[in-house]
Structure 1
Amino acid sequence: PRVEILPPGTGLPVLEHDLRERPDAAAALVALCAEEACMPFDLARGPLIRGRLIRLSEQEHVFLLTQHHIVSDGWSVGVLVRELGSLYRAFVAGQANPLPVPAIQYPDYAAWQRQWLSGERLQRQAQYWREALSGAPSMLALPTDRPRPARQSFAGATVPVEIDAELTRELRRLGREHGTTLFMTVLAGWAAVLSRLSGQDDLVIGVPSANRGRREIEELIGFFVNTLALRVDLSGGPDVATLLERTRRTALGAQEHQDLPFEQVVEIVQPPRALDHTPLFQVMLAWQDNALGRLDLPGLGVEEVMDNAPGQVRFDLELNVGECDGRIVGTLGYATALFEESTVRRQRDYLLALLRAMAADAGQPVERIDILPAAERRYLLEELNRTEAAYPSERCIHELFEAQVRRAPEAVALVHENE
């Protein structure tokens, strides 16, 4: 153990910008947001959190708070929002810091994890992932609009996803009947769509896990999240009920062995490595169940501003959804180096159609579910197969032959001799 005395002034650096007199204030705000999102962190010296306060008028400000993912995760943002509100209310009222001193800190968790995940526990977790991912395909062969670049590009964009309240209720009912959560049911549907698109009945989907199984760490800010590689089996033409059961077993088994860091899983499985794709899986499903809450600051009206950060994705496709006000909403992110927006919108619609069919009949074979809208089916089966063409007339053939004779009389004469 050691103690490091930080220099005076170390803490949260905040830059201030005054745009009150700027005629181009709106454009300047967008530029500042983009600049903040793209500015790298110095991992050696820190700090790994920073803020910007942008004054638009006497009554309107924008506050940007940026953290490196190495010190924070999605759950941490919810903790941060709650604590920021508590501190603001106390300080406005002239009170002292109301937050209790944490019983443990992140270094305590890191030390405990290293000690706990060792010996027999480590071997048991490693063996599970070794068996679960043995022989798994290294790539999901999705049809793309453009060839995969030699080096993976992280430029991305998103399309909105919304499963209405009625279908959400039906999916919850389907889950109750078959022992699956909403997450498991959507995962089964997403896997079925990916299987249709790729032609593979064995595929791996990445799923983030909050990895906060101990009450002591629920209120800590830090990077706890882990990534689980879920292998979904669609072989043998399963019906909806069978696919849900397989998905349930896969998800529960992965959650029981979620303590082994993903980096160690990759080292154990030793998948083929390449610069053009991520190892083990290239598609992710993230279920967002960590409510961020709203900032409640006395005397201020606070609302989330539009995210002006440049689009980025870590995988070919990223389905980020969660339940909100009785609906399942979110986004489907995609690598713009591979897909057009129209293609991803069709993929989203396939998912909605398949989930709707799953809820309607759990006994039907998944591979027979019709996910194509009528217009697209007509285009694929009829328009693309219109191969009829008018034959050239006898006069056209005669004119073509005469032209060939004028260009190559010797070759034509040779043809006549052969005849």
Structure 2
Amino acid sequence: MHHIISDGVSVNILMKDLSRLYEGNEPDPLSVQYKDYAVWQQSDIQKRNIKSQEAYWLDQFRDDIPVLDIPADYERPAVRDYEGESFEFVIPEHLKQGLSQMEENTGATLYMILLAAYTILLSKYSGQEDIVVGTPSAGRNHLDVESVVGMFVNTLVIRNQPAGRKTFDAYLNEVKENMLNAYKNQDYPLEELIQHLHLSKDPSRNPLFDTMFVLQNLDHAELTLDSLQLKPYQFHHPVAKFDLTLSIQADQDNYQGLFEYSKKLFKKSRIEALSNDYLHILSAILEQPSILIEHIGLSGSYEEQENMLDSIQLNF
């Protein structure tokens, strides 16, 4: 199902409705339909709400907007190319437990901690201390729309400064504050923000940001209906909408990470190194939350691998 008509929550709603129908029951009646939500979106009240949020987002990007420049393995094409690949990795159980403990100790959510670590990773690779990342928001802010099938998601553009002189715990507080403010203003459409910023067009890049961070914590239920069983079908999706997207699937059993990346920019070996470095950063901040960001190192796995390949080629 295309995002033009549905979001991730919609899939679970459809599966639950299908199970009720299969068992001879009717789905729960809805108080509103998506068409009612669409009408509300265009109402004068909501337009005033959107206008009041506009000032917050324009203030976030009043200064020069940084362009993320992480090392690539290939020269960037003059025009964006969407050929992509993905790389999966697992966040080990001891890190999962450490993240839960950090949530409890700091009052930050799992999302905030993982995002903070990701921006540090991007800062380490790029040498930049002003990082812009796109992230989706569910957009289901009212009880009446929780069971409605439709597209409610908006993309938020989050700007953080993981400066080396900051301690991680202080930086996490900044990320927490930024996210809370972003959530308060999450109805403002990304398209309008891009339009109002009057960005210079660069056909080789996405407007405003080139990387996304996504935390998926929806329970994708496996339903058993008498002799019929339904479960998600995993399929290969060779497309990358951005240079780099980090998605974390968090459930009770494990935390699964996935990097979706542009094949025109990166080798698989670099993305594997990125995942190792991300885990390395998580380990460092969990072991010592007050560590200075400039003291957080990287695993060096990519350089070691490339040096080994160079050595093999020289021997031949």
Alpha-carbon distance, 1:181 to partner? 0.7
Match of 1:255 among 173, 179, 183: 183
For residue 311 of structure 1, what is the aligned residue in structure 2?
238
Q: How does 1:13-412 map to 2 (within 5 A)?
A: 67-90=1-24, 98-115=26-43, 116-119=45-48, 121-235=49-163, 237-308=165-236, 310-373=237-300, 376=303
C-alpha deviation, 1:301, in angstroms? 3.6
The change in CA–CA distance for 1:204 and 1:375 in structure 2 (over 3 A counts) is: closer
Deviation, 1:234, is 1.7
What is the deviation of 1:76? Answer: 0.8
Q: CA deviation at 1:322?
A: 2.6
Q: Which moved more, 1:323-332 or 1:351-360?
A: 323-332
Gaps of 5+ in 2: 311-316
What is the count of residue pairs matched by the alignment? 309
- Cα distance in 2 for partners of 1:190, 1:223 equals 27
Question: Once the 2 structures are TM-superposed, how far is the Cα of residue 298 of structure 1 from its aligned partner?
Answer: 1.9
Q: CA deviation at 1:68?
A: 2.0
Q: Distance between the aligned counterparts of 1:182 and 1:85, measured in 2?
A: 31
> Rg bigger for which structure?
1
CA 88–271 in structure 1, closer or farther in 2 if over 3 Å, else same: same
Corresponding position of 2:313:
none
Task: Tell me if the contact between 2:164 and 2:292 (Cα under 8 Å) persists in the aligned partners.
Answer: no
Q: Structure 1 residue 383: deviation in Å?
A: 11
Q: Which string of whole-angstrom CA distances, capped at 9 and with x for unpartnered residues, describes residues 72-95 of structure 1?
A: 0111111111111111121xxxxx
What is the deviation of 1:215? 0.5
Contact 1:168 1:326 in 2 (8 A): no
Deviations along 1:175-201, one digit per CA (max 9) or x if unpaired, are 322221111001000000000111110
Letter of the 1:352 counterpart: L
Q: RMSD value over aligned CA atoms?
A: 2.1
The gaps in structure 1 that reach 5 residues or longer are: 1-66, 91-96, 385-419
Q: TM-score, normalised by structure 2?
A: 0.92
Report the AA paired with residue 245 of structure 1. N
Cα distance 1:379–1:69, how it changes in 2: closer, same or farther (>3 A)? closer
Q: Which amino acid aligns with 1:345?
A: E
Report the CA distance between 1:133 and its aligned residue. 1.8
When structure 1 is superposed on structure 2, of 287-296 and 256-265 the one drifting more is 287-296
Identity value in percent: 29
- Residues 297-323 of structure 1, C-alpha deviation per residue, up to 9 Å, x if partnerless? 222244443314x41121111111131
Distance, in Å, in 1 between the alignment partners of 2:16 and 2:255 is: 24
1:126 and 1:268 in contact (8 A); partners too: no
- In the superposition, relative to structure 1, how do residues 79 and 165 fare at CA in structure 2: closer, same or farther (>3 Å)? same
Contact 1:163-1:327 within 8 A present in 2 as well? yes
Aligned partners of 2:270 and 2:302 also within 8 Å: no
The CA deviation string for residues 349-390 of structure 1, in whole angstroms up to 9 with x for no partner, is 11000010000001111121122247946987x999xxxxxx
Does the CA contact (< 8 Å) of 1:136 and 1:204 recur in 2?
Answer: no
Deviation at 1:242, TM superposition (A): 1.2
Distance 1:270 1:326 in 2: 45
Counterparts of 2:38 and 2:305 in 1: how far apart (Å)?
57
Say if 2:87 and 2:258, in contact at 8 Å, map to a contact too: yes
Following TM superposition, by how much is the alpha carbon of 1:160 offset from its aligned partner in structure 2, in angstroms?
0.7
Query: Structure 1: how far apart are the matches of 2:294 and 2:247?
Result: 24
The C-alpha deviation readout for 1:278-315, integer Å capped at 9, x for no partner, is: 1111010011122221232222244443314x411211
CA contact under 8 A between 2:220 and 2:232: conserved in structure 1?
Answer: no
Instruction: After superposition, give the CA deviation of every residue in 1:96-127 in whole Å (9 maximum; x if it has no partner).
Output: x51233221111101112223223x2332000
Change (3 A) 1:149 1:315: same
Q: Is the 8 A contact 1:315 1:334 kept in 2?
A: yes
Deviation, structure 1 residue 229: 0.3
**Alignment check: 8 A CA contact 1:86 1:98 kept:** yes
Shift of the 100–306 alpha-carbon distance from structure 1 to 2, 3 Å rule, reads closer
Q: 1:234 to 1:303 in 2, by over 3 A?
A: closer
TM-score, normalized by length of structure 1?
0.70
Please tell me whether the aligned partners of residues 6 and 151 of structure 2 are also in contact (alpha carbons under 8 angstroms).
Answer: yes
The Cα offsets for residues 1-37 of structure 1, whole Å up to 9 and x where unpaired, read as xxxxxxxxxxxxxxxxxxxxxxxxxxxxxxxxxxxxx
Is the CA contact 2:137–2:156 (under 8 Å) kept in the aligned structure 1?
yes
